[in-house]
Amino acid sequence: MIDDHNSMRFDSTSSLRALRPFSAIDRRKNSIRSLIDSGFPYSRKLSSHTSCVNAVAFSRSGRWLASAGDDPFVLLWDFHQEEIEKPTCGFVGHRANVFALAFSASDQFVYSGDTDHTIHKYDISRWGELADHSGSPVLTLQRHQDSIRAISCHPHNDQLFLSAGEDGLVILHDSRESGTHRAQGCVYGNSEVTSVQYHPTSPDWFVTGDTRGEVSLRDTRMAFGGSVRVGQGVVQNYVTSLSKPSVSCLSKPEVGSITFDKTGKTFAVTFLHFLPTIYALSDPHPVATCSGANLPDGTPVPEGARTYTNSCTIKHGSFGGPCLDRDEYYCAGSDDFRAYVWKIPEVAALKEMREVVTHDDWESRRTSDTIGFTSSPSSDRCIPVELSTPLCRLGGHKSIVNSTLMHPTMPYLVTAGVERHVILHSPIADPPTAGSLARTAENVRTLPKPNLEDRILFMESLMSDRRLGEEDDQDDKETIALFDEILRQEGTTDIFEARQWYPSSDEEDNADALWS
């Protein structure tokens, strides 16, 4: 006969024993969430580059940060050090500006791509041998005919990676092969390809974006495999064209970059002259946009004050949520010299909150400035949720912030842009691996009115043979003056004037299928 009392006590004890680790994990998640929710008010500069920093990438383990830009170096920073004072090592080989960086699946290799259509592969397992000299590439590839805009490494195989270029090609590379066989296949686009990203958990899928504003999910088996390649491998096109009731034409913004969250269920697109836009993988219509309409306290940005815009440079955002089940945060750089962090609700909640408006109802709102997404002039409009209140805004820069990247395992965030520094941001002043950090000034530099000194520096930078940022002083004056002038000329561009779009008859015919 079973002793019910002892049986009950045994079951209860087992249950408690099973629950303890989950409770500890939950407490840790809540602690990390609370820490990030407090913002990133502390920062320090990581200084070693001599010019603009265009690309940053964390290794999957979180130990290494790679940075590269307009100088010839790919630098490696060790986040396992007690205090990050300088790069652990550097790599050379590039003769042009680097805009693409990616770590391989096991973190053994870093791949980098530049504007001289060159890709280098570096073996970072040799970092201990590079204390007194720079490392060289173990492999150099020149399969593209124009600037490399993006590199994405296979999530499981160190030797496989995708590259995207302004020559309109997406190339699948296998660095184990020799000669021309390293290029395993190509997708031929109709315009410059600006982004490519492997799906983080399903490596048969990858997503691409281009200057026409097209965003597509593709299957490697259809895009590259066999003798018959079906539709360039496209399995899903996403709706990216914009509509405003008060404007007769549509607009289709250029894609700057695309990034997945760690689950692969969500991705974000940075658009030129528009807002970062969140998509669910299985849904062609966006679920949210991220704006800076409000201050982090929820009050509207004062009239005339600068806030989030993206009109002048290539921006790269990132999702993050170290140790959390999903990436609950998204960050992006801005032309107002700040970085922005938004807290992203669950996709299911965003789908419930977005609005679908029929074409007739949309036409009746002629005076409205609401922006919706649509596949054609006659189709319904989808109005995604506007996440108008950022969690926080990060300062520390004197000019445009191009790249924002959250650390995969620790509550850090790094930013980089047209200056020569990478800035490390933290919720606390004394994090365990970065040394002491100072409180970041909340105010940022204002964009000056046109002036003679800036105009002279601007003209000198255009006529000089030197790389931007190679001036003697440490204030990046020439670079900042150049981008100040670009901001004054292009910073207020209206997307419906700059990127008018009229779909072809084939695009009109296919539009209705997206709503089925």
Decide: residue 249, CB within 10 A, 0-12 exposed, 13-18 middle, 19+ buried.
Answer: middle
Domain that holds residue 251: 33-440+450-515
CATH number of residue 397's parent domain:
2.130.10.10
pLDDT band of 199, cuts 50, 70, 90: very high
CA-CA distance, 34 to 305, in Å (whole number)?
Answer: 29
pLDDT number for residue 179 = 64
The owner of tokens 């201050």 is 295
Beta strands 385-387 and 288-290, pairing class: parallel
**26 inside domain:** no
Q: What are phi and psi of 435, to 5 degrees?
A: 75, -165
pTM of the model: 0.90
Nearest one of 92, 56, 514, 32 to 314, comparing CA atoms: 56
Per residue in 207-258, pLDDT (tens digit) is: 999 999 999 999 999 999 765 566 789 999 999 999 999 998 999 999 999 9
Least confident of 112-116, 306-310, 431-435: 431-435
CA-CA distance, 64 to 79, in Å (whole number)?
Answer: 6
Per residue in 313-357, pLDDT (tens digit) is: 999 999 999 989 999 999 999 999 999 999 999 999 999 999 999
Least confident of 292-306, 399-413, 484-498: 484-498
**13 inside domain:** no
Q: Tell me the CA distances in angstroms from 72 to 49, 115, 120, 211, 427, one per residue in order.
A: 9, 12, 12, 27, 32
CA-CA distance, 271 to 376, in Å (whole number)?
Answer: 19
Task: Calculate the average pLDDT of the chain.
Answer: 89
CA-CA distance, 169 to 149, in Å (whole number)?
Answer: 10
Q: Which residue has the higher pLDDT, 432 or 444?
A: 444
**317 inside domain:** yes
**247 inside domain:** yes
CA-CA distance, 65 to 318, in Å (whole number)?
Answer: 14
CA-CA distance, 516 to 507, in Å (whole number)?
Answer: 15
pLDDT number for residue 46 = 96
**14 inside domain:** no
Structural tokens at position 87:
């790069």
**9 inside domain:** no
Number of domains comprising the chain: 1
Q: Which amino acid is at 55?
A: A
- Per the CB < 8 A criterion, the answer to whether 307 and 243 are in contact is no
CA-CA distance, 417 to 426, in Å (whole number)?
Answer: 18
**21 inside domain:** no
The owner of tokens 């509550």 is 411
**28 inside domain:** no
Strand ranges across the sheet with 148-153: 148-153, 160-165, 169-174, 183-188
DSSP code, position 187: E
